[in-house]
Structure 1
Amino acid sequence: MNDGDGDPQDIVKLTHDKLSADAVSEAVVCPSCGAVSMFIGTTRNNFEGKKVVQLEYEAYVPMAESQLKKIFKDIRDRWTTVRHICVHHRLGRESLEAVAHCIEALKANVPIWKKEIYETEGSAWKENKECLWAGSGQK
């Protein structure tokens, strides 16, 4: 964890372990900075009309780390106020089947509603049509 301003830090982690957004955020917090900007990539379940069921990431770690450090230098050359930069990327296989199951089970069993807010026509509350209790009047 970063406990002070100090010199700018660049952190690269390529791992097969589960990633933590909290760990990344804590690594770049800086008392003289007013924000932490993060990008979290997620796996889409389709690409160009094909269903994606699994991704597999491999890396030549020394070269990947070297290239990321070049990118960090470019960032610092362009934006001189950027302090700490941290990139974590997961390697290995990642299956989407468990995520898909969770989403479908959530839609069918969990009482969650969404409110759609329209540009010109007000808003409307919606429930999941797949939900086992849909139309029962519960809310």
Structure 2
Amino acid sequence: MATVAVTASFSSRLSTPDGDTCEITDKELVLDSVMQSIKHDGAGALVLFVGTTRDTFDGKDVVRLEYEAHTNLALRTICKIMQNIRKGHGSLIRLTCYHRIGNVPVGQPSIIVAASAPHRRASFNACEDLLEQVKEKAQIWKREWYVGEHEDEAQWKENANVSGEWGA
């Protein structure tokens, strides 16, 4: 009798009224897709930040990171963050945030945030603001897996909730 392996993948996306998008997925993040999502003829500046799994943390060798999310709430939170950033950086054309969940091996991206605007300063500032606020407020949690540790020793890391605004 043949054995059938079923591999399900997950991806969920939400957009704002301004056309900004966020996606949470268990698939590998693709830079070209992100670039296409923020391109615009009026954009003279496209800024991307790619956060990858590094091989060490606090002197320990990292095997992988594992992310979990309250997906619907996290998507709504990220969209709200993007709408608020837009108010502070009026010349923005597009914002986007892609976040991977599940296991993310060393060297692979776990988050990509991007911004486009007519000029670079607005793009740089918005991209950094988006990254910091997603890390602080989005309902996404990270677990670090280290070389030589058992499954029960992997450590969950909490996002800092400086502002106290978890709701979307």
Question: TM-score, with normalisation over the residues of structure 2?
Answer: 0.51
TM superposition shift of 1:73: 1.3
Residue 18 (structure 2) aligns with: 8
Q: Which residue of 1 aligns with 2:99?
A: 89
1:24 corresponds, among 34, 46, 69, to 34
Between the aligned partners of 1:72 and 1:94, the Cα distance in structure 2 is 25
Q: Where in structure 1 are there 5+ consecutive unaligned residues? A: 1-6, 100-139
Q: CA deviation at 1:75?
A: 1.0
List, as ranges, runs of 4+ consecutive aligned residues in structure 1 with deviation greater than 2 Å. Answer: none
What residue is the counterpart of 2:66 in the other structure? Answer: 56
Question: Paired residue for 2:75, among 65, 68, 74?
Answer: 65
Structure-2 change in CA distance of 1:83 and 1:8 (3 Å)? farther
The equivalent of 1:107 in structure 2 is: none
Aligned partners of 2:53 and 2:105 also within 8 Å: no
Shift of 1:49: 1.4
User: How far 1:35 sits from its partner (Å)?
Assistant: 1.5
Report the Cα distance in structure 2 between the residues aligned to 1:62 and 1:90, rounded to whole angstroms: 14
The alignment partner of 1:82 has SS state of coil
The higher radius of gyration belongs to 1
Q: Aligned equivalents of 1:12 and 1:85: distance in 2?
A: 8
Query: Deviations for 1:48-88, whole angstroms, at most 9, x for unmatched residues?
Result: 11111111011111111111012101210110011111111
In terms of fraction of residues, the more strand-rich structure is 2
Q: Distance in 1 between matches of 2:70 and 2:56?
A: 27
RMSD: 1.4
Equivalents in 2 of 1:76, 1:95: separation in Å? 33
| Partner SS for 2:84 | helix
1:74-85 alignment runs, 5 A limit? 74-85=84-95
- Equivalent position SS for 1:52: strand
2: distance between equivalents of 1:71 and 1:56?
23
TM-score by length of 1: 0.61
